Every structure is written in structure tokens, then in C-alpha cells.
């Protein structure tokens, strides 16, 4: 496995890579959810590239960029075991050189939920993914279903800008109690970690109610009720949305997704579940 840190070096190498190329964009501090993305990429591509880059442009001024967990050597060992061929790990100045002033802004789908709460977040996500796609030229890029709104944003960007790649979405990998694996889970105290399973309980309660014929408002109320019963949890939002547009739905007799954001102290976790599958 090769470790590359310069954009120009990747551009020089990519002509020699066996095709097709699969790209797994990450911010590092990897867990089994990331490993599953790499395994899926390995199964369908001749060359697998994993980026490790804590992207400063998707963090707001009061967010956790400075303390976002990092464990590069451990990550590389995990990636080698999972079958990655190349790790692209640029420094911030390599991705955003002096004078950088070009941005990708995806409208509409970014105006709600995570986009409303974190105003600069999706501009940073879309821009860095656009850059990674242009640097690596993958046939496929792999993202986890846990970050469902991010997936919707990237799919919209790829469609609208006629990018020649497939976005592969891999199901959320969960802990035994249902908590979605996330690098930010490491911020939780033991008491908060135990309480955090409330996200999965709320989502499964929502799906059960939908299967019983509940309406979107009832499903949202059920998620709010489950979260409010956990004393350490503070709800940011609970909604049922279209998985492509993230617009709230008026009927559950269509593709729909329950979405949650919950705070435990200073740690904020998101999760989702398809209700129509």
C-alpha cells in the first residue's frame, strides 16, 4: 500500500492504476464502517484509493476541527488489512493553496436540517469531494448511509455537473446496541455512550409505527417521545424526509427516510433509517 501526500503525485500515478478505480473519502480515525466501505470498493474495483483528510472547510468556526480525532498510523494499518492500494493524505495547504477562492455550492437540498444548523458544512463537503473526484478520477466513490444528507448532496452534485462516476452507498454499520459507528462516538463519556443508543431505539420505533400505518406527524412525534425519555439526550430535530431532496414528506406510501440529530453534552450525533424498505 502506497501513502501519497501531494496532488501532483496522485495525478502522475493515476495513469498507471489498473481500472476501474474506487475512491473512499474519509476524514480518518477509522472504524468498521469505513472498513466496510473499503471492502465494498475492493470487491468491485481493480484499484482502491482511500483519502484521509480532515477537511477544514466543512467545519464552522465553533465546531470541532481542532480536536477532531486523528490516528494516522492506526488508520493505515486498518486500510492495509482491508485491501486499500493507495492512501491519499494531503495537508490542508495542498488541497487549499494560497489564494484558493473557488467553491461548489449545491442549493435546495442543503437548506434544511444539517445545512441549516451548519451553514458552511455542505459547501465544504461538496468542494472537497469535487476536488477528490478530479484528482483521483474514480469510476466509483463510496459513502456510508449514516450521512444520508451528505449522500443526497453528493448525488445531486454528480448529477447536476454531469460527473462521470457512480456514487455507491453502503448500509450503516452499527454497534451491538444499534448505535451507528462514528468517529465522534469517541467524544462520549461512558454514561453518554450508554444513552446514545436512544437514536437507534427512536428510529426503530418510527419504523414500527410506519409499518402499523402511522402518518409522518405521528412518526416524528414517536421519535421525539423516545428521545425525550433519555435524560442525557437533547433533540436537535426528528423528521421524515424524501431521501433525495430532504424535503419533509406528507405520506409514508413512498420512498422516505427518518432522520435524527441528538446532542449528548457537546457531542452531536446523527442517524437515519429507511422506512419504506
Give every strand in the sheet of 234-241, ordered side by side. Answer: 234-241, 257-264, 267-274
d(CA 210, CA 207): 5
In contact, 108 and 22? CB cutoff 8 Å: no
Give, to the nearest 10 degrees, the angle between helix 216-228 and helix 198-211: 150
SS3 148: helix
Closest to 246 in 3D by CA, of 154, 171, 179, 178: 154
Radius of gyration of the chain measured on its C-alpha atoms: 19
Q: Is 215 a catalytic residue?
A: no
Catalytic residue among 31, 34, 93, 215: 34
Burial classification of residue 205, based on how many CB atoms lie within 10 Å of its CB (0-12 exposed, 13-18 middle, 19 or more buried): middle
Catalytic residues: 34
Amino acid at each position: 500500500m502506497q501513502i501519497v501526500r501531494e496532488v501532483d503525485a496522485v495525478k502522475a500515478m493515476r495513469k498507471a492504476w489498473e481500472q476501474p478505480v474506487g475512491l473512499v473519502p474519509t476524514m480518518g480515525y477509522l472504524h468498521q464502517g469505513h472498513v466496510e466501505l473499503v471492502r465494498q470498493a475492493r470487491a468491485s474495483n481493480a484499484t482502491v484509493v482511500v483519502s484521509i483528510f480532515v477537511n477544514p472547510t466543512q467545519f464552522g468556526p465553533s465546531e470541532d476541527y481542532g480536536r477532531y480525532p486523528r490516528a494516522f498510523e492506526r488508520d493505515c494499518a486498518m486500510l492495509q488489512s482491508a485491501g486499500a492500494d493507495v492512501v491519499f493524505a494531503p495537508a490542508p495547504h495542498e488541497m487549499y493553496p494560497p489564494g484558493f477562492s473557488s467553491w461548489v455550492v449545491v442549493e435546495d437540498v442543503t437548506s434544511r436540517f444539517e445545512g441549516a444548523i451548519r451553514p458552511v458544512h455542505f459547501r465544504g463537503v461538496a468542494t472537497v469531494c469535487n476536488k477528490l473526484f478530479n484528482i483521483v478520477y474514480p469510476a466509483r466513490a463510496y459513502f456510508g448511509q449514516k450521512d444520508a444528507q451528505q449522500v443526497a448532496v453528493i448525488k445531486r452534485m454528480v448529477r447536476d455537473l454531469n460527473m462521470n462516476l457512480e456514487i455507491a452507498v453502503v448500509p450503516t454499520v452499527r454497534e451491538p446496541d444499534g448505535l451507528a459507528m462514528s468517529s465522534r462516538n469517541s467524544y462520549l463519556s461512558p454514561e453518554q455512550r450508554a444513552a446514545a443508543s436512544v437514536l437507534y431505539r427512536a428510529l426503530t420505533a418510527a419504523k414500527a409505527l410506519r409499518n402499523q400505518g402511522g402518518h409522518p406527524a405521528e412518526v416524528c412525534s414517536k421519535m421525539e417521545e423516545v428521545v425525550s425519555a433519555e435524560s442525557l439526550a437533547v433533540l436537535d430535530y426528528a423528521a421524515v424526509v424524501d431521501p433525495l431532496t430532504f424535503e419533509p414528506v406528507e405520506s409514508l406510501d413512498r420512498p422516505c427516510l427518518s432522520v435524527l440529530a441528538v446532542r449528548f453534552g457537546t457531542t452531536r450525533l446523527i442517524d437515519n433509517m429507511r422506512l419504506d424498505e
